[in-house]
Structure 1
Amino acid sequence: MFKLFRDKRAHPLGEVFNRYYWLQIALIAMSIVIGIGCSAWVIKGTLLKTALEQEMSHYWQRLERDPNADLPDTKNLYGYRWDTQTPAKLQNMQLHEGVSRHFIDGKERMTVYGERNGQHVFLVFGESNVNKLIWLFGLAPLMVSLFVLYSLLWWWNRRARRYFSPITRLANALENIDWEHQNKEASPFQDISTDANMEAEYLKQALEKYHQVLSEFINREREFTGDVSHELRTPLTILKGNVQLCQTRYGDNKSFTRLQNTIEDMQLLVDTLLAIARNTTNTLTAENTMLSDLLDELVQDLNSVSYAKGMQIDLQKDPDEKIRQIYPSMTKMVFSNILRNALNYSQGSEIDVVLQKNKVLIADNGIGIHLPNDAKVQELSNRQLQLPVKGHGIGLQLVQKLCTQLGWRVELFDRQYYISTHQDVNLSATTGLIVVVYLN
């Protein structure tokens, strides 16, 4: 259950290079296809039409000089001429002056028709041959250029990947360091080859030095917390034993009971704090219980404090509440600190603890606090910890860290704003602050 969430990069450096590499290829291929299409359109739609019109005009000039001039008869251009009797191939065609397209000799071809002085001329252009020339002298050079360009891009991409891949591997190694077991492992960077990249080599040496310094610091911190654990648990055990002897000798007394409960709370606090400091919260034991029972117990423990402050704590339970798997010590520390803050600093008369399906509301009717940037809601984070109002005991820093470990989220609301935007809360719209703990 206890996890530290890390922000993992969705696109490492190598993937970014690959993405831009293939994007460049796609754009270049698209531009070439568009260029070929535009060229073919220009050639067929404009150049060939103009050429056929000029061929027709040239033939009329020939006829003026020589009435018996032969029709064009080449591989790409041939024609028909008649006076009154239309050739059999053309009898079913609707002929119009100028360039058009007709189905003739088994293919759709580009044609040009004209009529002067009773003479009819119909020229047919062999378009298929021109198409071959277009693809031969247009597409082939473009394909060769594309191949050369892709080869250059592939070579540059390989060079870039070779240059940056050591940095990517170093970044991945740094991100995947297992700090819980790092004292049992060698440097995670020692097996990474920098491929004669001097910048990457300098970065590798700096990261190895950083890893060594940080590992030594973590080891010293763990040794210190181990010593603190021993030093704190010993006097607590002695105090607990002496309280039990006093209860046996002098009988049950409210003071002894309160002292015993305080010692037990301190033991839970020590165990939890040390577990967090060692990053070993998974050693704590979870229990299947009702959260309302824990909150009710906490409210009862704080009755003496609330009575001394002239305040009242009311608990509103969820009638549809189900059993949850929770960590009693950490959960109690979270809500105890929030309630003590409300008792000590709200300057109100009443605190409402509202248990809902997936969240717990702690609402006071005091003076409230000034949220940063005049906001009506603020998530409890490092920025929020800079508020002038300080917490009690373990403080807001530990609340935020405990909630992170538990997978919870905490937000602070202006009371009037929250009630106006949430109709499912049965609270009066007075001034004050509402702390909402969103459960997992």
Structure 2
Amino acid sequence: MQSRRKLRFRLIVSFALFGFGLSALFAVAALNIRAKVESQLVTASLQQDVDQAVEKVHRDPTKPAGSDLIEAWMRSDRTLYNMPLSWQGLDSGVHDIYETGADGTRHHYKLAVRKKYGLIGFIRYDVTRDELGKQQLLFSVIGAVFLFGLLSLVLGLWLSRKVLKPVSELANRLRDFRKAGKAEPLAPHFADDEVGELAHALDEYSARLTAMVERDREFNSDVSHELRTPLAVISSTTELLQGSPDLTEKLSERLKRIERASRQATELIEALLLLSRAERRGPTRGETTEVGKVAADVIESQRPQMRGKPLSIELAVNEPVNVNAPASVLSVALTNLVGNAIKYTLEGSVRVEVGDGRIEVIDTGPGIKPEDAERLFQRGVRGEGAGGSGAGLGLAIVRRLCELYGWDVSMRPRSDANGAIASIKFS
């Protein structure tokens, strides 16, 4: 799924976001702490300095006002007039003022004012350089944030590559096994850690799966050999018996039924073996089969099922259709479709039409519900009215055979009358 990110990508993003978030949090905290501490220190220093200046002049008025700061003035109510007009109305405390300095540039000052004992003390402190320092600190912190973010990204890339290297190697070895067509032990190539444990578990699973496939292959080969031999004996024996001169018509008909049943069993074995082998090595192709001819043979083999029923069956070949598949595969698929149509149709007709790259089996039976059409091709599902006969495997086998050769099989109810239409569209 496209919405789910790779583990490495999520690890990289996590490292980058963690580093960026941590750096940004550190920067905000540093700026806030610096501003708060600076404000407290400057305010406390100015207030303490103006207090000591006032106290000193009060004790000895002959001495000029002294201050540890650069600029200080001490005035009385009578001499206050020679101070800047904007200062004269200020109350005791620390004030922010902005004035043009001696250098002609605008400066930011903190002005401490103290009114006591009829005296008014002024101490002015230039904080412009502090603001420049704060600005430099801000730029430095922003640079540090991006630097830490970049370092976190680089660290994430390096760590993700290092941490996920065993996982990537394990995936690459699995891909190589798929290309080579055989599995080799994985655990010896990895350390005794989580990835090594995963490789060991995959080795165990591969061993069990390989053993199961080998048993399945041997079973299919044994079944094929053991069933083909008696079927070949039955076919040759019926062929010899049909050549007897004193053979009655009734006995000849029975021998033909045995021959058809033997041929159908042989075709079914071949089709099932193709299905089994296709899951491992792909389908066997290259044979061209005439659909109309196979359909005619299937119809003849199914006629005995129509005995006792007011039912007719016909074949209409509108245009020739050839497929690149063994006749046995097509015969098994059509036998199930035609057999189902005869089985569920109590009276009326079954029509097999060939043309336009497809074959359709049309019956006049009870029909099917549109919502049940797809479900009938599932294993073990039988149609309504099936009674106790059948295991619900016929249509499932048809679906698997069609998927093997790229055909499209479907079933739908008739729109013009009662009944159903089973269709195979050839690619």
Q: TM-score range by the shorter chain?
A: 0.5 to 0.7
Q: Is the 8 A contact 1:380 1:411 kept in 2?
A: no
TM-score after normalising by structure 2: 0.59
Shift of 1:343: 1.5
Aligned to 2:291: 291
Q: Which amino acid aligns with 2:381?
A: L
Equivalent residue in structure 1 for 2:156, among 153, 157, 161: 153
Q: Is the 8 A contact 1:407 1:439 kept in 2?
A: yes
Q: Which amino acid aligns with 1:17?
A: L
Aligned to 1:54: none
Measure the CA separation in 2 of the matches of 1:135 and 1:355: 84
Equivalent residue in structure 2 for 1:188, among 174, 184, 187: 184
Trace 1:59-98 onto structure 2 (pairs within 5 A): none
Q: Is the 8 A contact 1:309 1:343 kept in 2?
A: no
Q: Which amino acid aligns with 2:7?
A: F
Larger of the two Rg values belongs to structure? 2
Equivalent residue in structure 2 for 1:435, among 413, 422, 425: 422
Residues 60-104 of structure 1 show CA distances to partners (whole Å, capped at 9, x for unaligned) of xx8999xxxx98897988xxxxxxxxxxxxxxxxxxxxxxxxxxx
Q: What's the secondary structure of 1:362's corresponding residue?
A: strand
Equivalent residue in structure 2 for 1:230, among 225, 230, 255: 225
Measure the CA separation in 2 of the matches of 1:349 and 1:227: 44
Q: What's the secondary structure of 1:250's corresponding residue?
A: coil
Q: Residues 302 and 387 (structure 1 numbering): CA distance in 2 closer, same or farther, change over 3 Å?
A: closer
Range with greater deviation from structure 2 (232-241 or 201-210) = 201-210
Trace 1:399-410 onto structure 2 (pairs within 5 A): 399-410=398-409
Q: Residues 299 and 30 (structure 1 numbering): CA distance in 2 closer, same or farther, change over 3 Å?
A: farther
Aligned to 1:17: 7
The root-mean-square deviation of aligned C-alpha atoms, in Å, is 4.7
Measure the CA separation in 2 of the matches of 1:210 and 1:230: 30
Q: Which amino acid aligns with 1:433?
A: A
Measure the CA separation in 2 of the matches of 1:358 and 1:246: 40
Q: Which runs of 5+ in 2 are unaligned?
A: 22-83, 88-98, 107-131
Measure the CA separation in 1 of the matches of 2:377 and 2:392: 18
Aligned to 2:123: none
Shift of 1:402: 1.7
Q: What's the secondary structure of 1:189's corresponding residue?
A: coil
Establish whether residue 332 from structure 1 lines up as the match of residue 315 from structure 2: no
Q: Residues 412 and 23 (structure 1 numbering): CA distance in 2 closer, same or farther, change over 3 Å?
A: farther
Shift of 1:401: 2.4
Measure the CA separation in 1 of the matches of 2:321 and 2:222: 40
Measure the CA separation in 2 of the matches of 1:190 and 1:23: 31
Q: Is the 8 A contact 1:275 1:281 kept in 2?
A: no
Shift of 1:344: 1.6
Residues 191-241 of structure 1 show CA distances to partners (whole Å, capped at 9, x for unaligned) of 6633332x3333333332333233233323333333322322222222222
- The percentage of counterpart residues that share the same residue type is 20
Trace 1:265-414 onto structure 2 (pairs within 5 A): 265-279=264-278, 286-319=286-319, 321-355=320-354, 357-369=356-368, 375=371, 377-378=373-374, 381-382=377-378, 385=381, 389=386, 391=390, 395-413=394-412
Q: Residues 235 and 383 (structure 1 numbering): CA distance in 2 closer, same or farther, change over 3 Å?
A: closer
Measure the CA separation in 2 of the matches of 1:378 and 1:269: 23
Q: Is the 8 A contact 1:173 1:188 kept in 2?
A: no
Measure the CA separation in 1 of the matches of 2:271 and 2:264: 10
Equivalent residue in structure 2 for 1:207, among 177, 196, 202: 202
Q: Which amino acid aligns with 1:236?
A: L
Q: Which amino acid aligns with 1:260?
A: E
Measure the CA separation in 2 of the matches of 1:76 and 1:291: 101
Measure the CA separation in 1 of the matches of 2:141 and 2:406: 63
Q: What's the secondary structure of 2:374's corresponding residue?
A: strand
Q: What's the secondary structure of 1:312's corresponding residue?
A: strand
TM-score after normalising by structure 1: 0.57
Measure the CA separation in 1 of the matches of 2:19 and 2:358: 55
Q: What's the secondary structure of 2:424's corresponding residue?
A: strand
Shift of 1:154: 1.8
Shift of 1:335: 1.2
Measure the CA separation in 1 of the matches of 2:210 and 2:100: 95
Shift of 1:337: 0.9
Q: Which amino acid aligns with 1:429?
A: A
Measure the CA separation in 1 of the matches of 2:365 and 2:221: 42
Shift of 1:341: 1.6
Shift of 1:147: 1.3
Q: Residues 396 and 177 (structure 1 numbering): CA distance in 2 closer, same or farther, change over 3 Å?
A: farther
Q: Residues 363 and 25 (structure 1 numbering): CA distance in 2 closer, same or farther, change over 3 Å?
A: farther
Aligned to 1:123: none
Q: Residues 158 and 392 (structure 1 numbering): CA distance in 2 closer, same or farther, change over 3 Å?
A: closer
